[in-house]
Amino acid sequence: MPSFEQSLDERFPGAMSETDFLEITYNAIAGHGFDADNTIACVGVCRDELCRSLVWAVRDVWGEAFNFSGLGGLLTLGIAGFRAAHYHAPIYNGRERYVYIIMPHIGISEDGDFGKCLREGRHGSSAACGALSAMLEEFRTGTLDLSVNNDNIEYSLLKQHLTPRLLGKGLDTDSLDIATLTLAMSNLITDDLERMIELTVDKEVADYGVLTGVQIHRPISGSMVWINKGYVCVEGERRELELELPNL
């Protein structure tokens, strides 16, 4: 039977604590002119209360952040929401700076089971991410519904956005697992973020950093982060971040 560490290394190699993630990425971004005084952080995680630890960690490093969060980590704030965040950014030497920290989440149990976590006050394990787990169950039971339910709007949008990415690649949904679904979600919201940046950021007056990945809940307490993408765009030039990873 696999352990938490084995499952983590198999699907999310290089994952680190949230504290290490924020320290390492802050130092890397600071080398390109960003800091807590001249930058607004924009954080998008799932609505799950377990995900708040990353929001608090970002606040401790970057200061209060603009909330991009949605069910499953889906970005639903649109152009108006992005522009609102940008209007709140400090202006230093005539430029604005934004750092986007965006990711879905997943639990891994002590026995290495993906999609499982423990919650204080509840017996046994529960799902993380619950929305992605519900979507996976629809795939497995052949009950996937892609219509828009106005009483369940974010979940409807999540399924509409994510399903084409899975089926479009000819994925065998019978063998689909929650880890694969979570990685697909990370790629989806990374692409959504980059599209919204193109629609809303004026690179003539603004620089930005992008940090995407997956937030991973440990079986006992605390969470980790696996990095998907990390780069900055300064005066219109994209620069990949050189991240000095901790000794794991």
- Where in the chain are the domains? 4-128+190-235
3-class secondary-structure state, position 146: coil
Q: What is the distance between the alpha carbons of residues 227 and 186, in angstroms, rounded to a whole number?
A: 10
Nearest to 54 by CA among 20, 9, 77: 20
Cα radius of gyration rounded to whole Å, the chain: 18
Tokens of 92: 């230093």
pLDDT of the chain, 248 residues: tens digit per residue? 578 999 999 999 999 999 999 999 999 999 999 999 999 999 999 999 999 999 999 999 999 999 999 999 999 999 999 999 999 999 999 999 999 999 999 999 999 899 998 787 677 778 899 999 999 999 989 899 999 999 999 999 999 999 988 876 555 667 789 999 999 999 999 999 999 999 999 999 999 999 999 999 998 778 999 999 999 999 999 999 988 766 54
- Residues in contact with 17: Cβ distance below 8 Å, sequence separation at least 6, in sequence order: 222, 223, 224, 225
Question: pTM of the prediction?
Answer: 0.94
Q: State how far the Cα of 23 lies from the Cα of 172, in Å rounded to an integer.
A: 39
| pLDDT of amino acid 219 | 87
Q: Determine contact, residues 31/239, Cβ cutoff 8 Å.
A: no
**Which residue type sits at 140?**
R
User: 195-198: which pairs have CB atoms within 8 A and are 24 or more residues apart?
Assistant: 196/75, 196/78, 196/79, 196/82, 197/82, 197/100
203 phi/psi in degrees, rounded to 5: -70, -10
